[in-house]
A and B are shown apart, each in its own frame.
Chain A
């Protein structure tokens, strides 16, 4: 079974966001998403300093099965990317909510986080896709 940590916010497009409490969020794909994709073989990340809009595609994860666009859960500036994933994309499979994080955003409008789902809401989205 996939994990759905309650401290995180979720997008319907299967990204998670962790509010770091300092105006930044850490973003990744959910355990459910990595499970559906299967083994990841490539991760293309944005550049530090890029500006992103909420819902804008800014990264790509590619698995043995399919390529999938990653959408930023919030608007702002990319302040860090998990460059280890270039060599070790499998970290996303092994630790989707931990070492497999993708990038960090300094939010320009933290209120956008309210538009995201909580763990229960996302779990329903995930369950509806499995049938």
Chain B
């Protein structure tokens, strides 16, 4: 048995198929992950993401500490509530985790990290924090619910605490507003508009049930994965890990090289790698024919092995299979995948595949 979120009983009541994920028992789907996927693209769906860990970083050195710890630069965050996506790197430039950090107010940042890496992240962060006046506290007292889709904000707003309704309705993308232990962020992992809401765990079931009554479809990890894949968003552990650099994982845009004197962990290794001309490239793939691209399938151009699929699956919005892959540098419009003993043609594209309900690739 894995760990249980505050919504575990609610998921079972709603008929969820529960599966182990990152040490937790989480819903895979509530009947059909394809229907859940379409609900998010067309109306609104909700996900229990309480298995992810929220951390508060407080103290007078919190900004200096995070500028050392993270490859992206928290000093970009000037407005309270503003969020930043970043990798946390090891000294070799490998990705320890990818995360979101929110600037709450001077001396207080909120970070959300992946479930399966949470303990490792905490240990690493505490080791790095020794020289700084910061306190890191894990917020296991919080639940997190993501509400995503074109109707998500409209359906969720009236169910938020009254004091948050007006400010939440005015949020720009990638900004959050908080009140007490409630945090409402206009962020997500689906390529659709919506909110990610942190709230006291004891209130999670009531909020979830109210969302269901309002017409928000409960969605499991299955739909979460196909939605993020279509959105071209990386999955930690599949698309990147401690042995891969963000430069070879489609995450170069998350590295803040300026100012040059900011000596973040992993910087030296990345600078060396940045100047090499044989780095692998991170691309999207679309399968022309039938079948489903799966993780680790090998890719070829003639006899030359180009690389492999890092995460593949079926894209329900495109009604065909898509993947993210790490391949040799070069101009490729297409390549071949070896699938069930046969070669099949795949087109090489630039993610995302889908954004805000619209198909972005041919």
CA distance A60 to B342 in the complex (A): 14
Contacts of A42 in B (CB 8 A): 290-292
Would you call B313 an interface residue if the criterion is a C-beta within 8 Å of the partner chain's C-beta atoms? yes
Interface residues of A in 32-69 (CB under 8 A from B): 38-39, 41-42, 44, 60, 62, 64-65, 67
CA distance A39 to B314 in the complex (A): 10
Which residue of chain A is the closest to B292 with respect to CB atoms?
A62
Would you call A93 an interface residue if the criterion is a C-beta within 8 Å of the partner chain's C-beta atoms? yes
Which of A39, A44, A60 contacts B34 (CB under 8 A)?
A39
Interface of B, helix, strand, loop or mixed by DSSP? mixed
Shortest CB-to-CB span from B185 to chain A, Å, is 28
Which of B28, B292, B294, B340 contacts A41 (CB under 8 A)?
B292
Beta-carbon contact of A67 and B34 below 8 Å: no
Contacts of A62 in B (CB 8 A): 291-292
Beta-carbon contact of B226 and A64 below 8 Å: yes
CA distance A60 to B294 in the complex (A): 16
Would you call B245 an interface residue if the criterion is a C-beta within 8 Å of the partner chain's C-beta atoms? no
Beta-carbon contact of A39 and B32 below 8 Å: yes
CA distance A87 to B99 in the complex (A): 40
Would you call A15 an interface residue if the criterion is a C-beta within 8 Å of the partner chain's C-beta atoms? no
Would you call B82 an interface residue if the criterion is a C-beta within 8 Å of the partner chain's C-beta atoms? no
Shortest CB-to-CB span from A90 to chain B, Å, is 7
A64-B313 contact, Cβ under 8 Å, with A39-B33, A93-B32: yes
Contacts of B226 in A (CB 8 A): 64
Beta-carbon contact of A38 and B33 below 8 Å: yes
Shortest CB-to-CB span from A1 to chain B, Å, is 12
Beta-carbon contact of A38 and B291 below 8 Å: no
Would you call B267 an interface residue if the criterion is a C-beta within 8 Å of the partner chain's C-beta atoms? no
Beta-carbon contact of A67 and B292 below 8 Å: yes
Which residue of chain B is the closest to A69 with respect to CB atoms?
B340
Contacts of B33 in A (CB 8 A): 38-39, 64
Interface residues of B in 210-243 (CB under 8 A from A): 222, 226
Would you call B51 an interface residue if the criterion is a C-beta within 8 Å of the partner chain's C-beta atoms? no
Contacts of B29 in A (CB 8 A): 38-39
Shortest CB-to-CB span from B359 to chain A, Å, is 17
CA distance A41 to B32 in the complex (A): 12
CA distance A74 to B25 in the complex (A): 40
Contacts of B292 in A (CB 8 A): 41-42, 62, 64, 67
CA distance A35 to B290 in the complex (A): 22
CA distance A67 to B222 in the complex (A): 16
Which residue of chain B is the closest to A60 with respect to CB atoms?
B340
CA distance A62 to B291 in the complex (A): 7
Contacts of A67 in B (CB 8 A): 291-292, 294, 340
Contacts of A41 in B (CB 8 A): 34, 292, 314
Interface residues of A in 91-119 (CB under 8 A from B): 93
Beta-carbon contact of B314 and A64 below 8 Å: yes
Contacts of B340 in A (CB 8 A): 60, 67
CA distance A90 to B314 in the complex (A): 14
- Which 4 pairs, one residue from A and one from B, show the smallest C-beta to C-beta distance? A39-B34, A41-B314, A42-B290, A62-B292
Contact sample, A vs B, 10 pairs, CB 8 Å cutoff: A38-B33, A41-B34, A42-B291, A62-B292, A64-B33, A64-B34, A64-B226, A64-B313, A67-B294, A90-B32
Task: Give 11 A-B pairs besides A39-B29, A42-B290 with Cβ atoms closer than 8 angstroms.
Answer: A41-B292, A41-B314, A44-B290, A60-B340, A64-B34, A64-B314, A67-B291, A67-B292, A67-B294, A90-B34, A93-B32
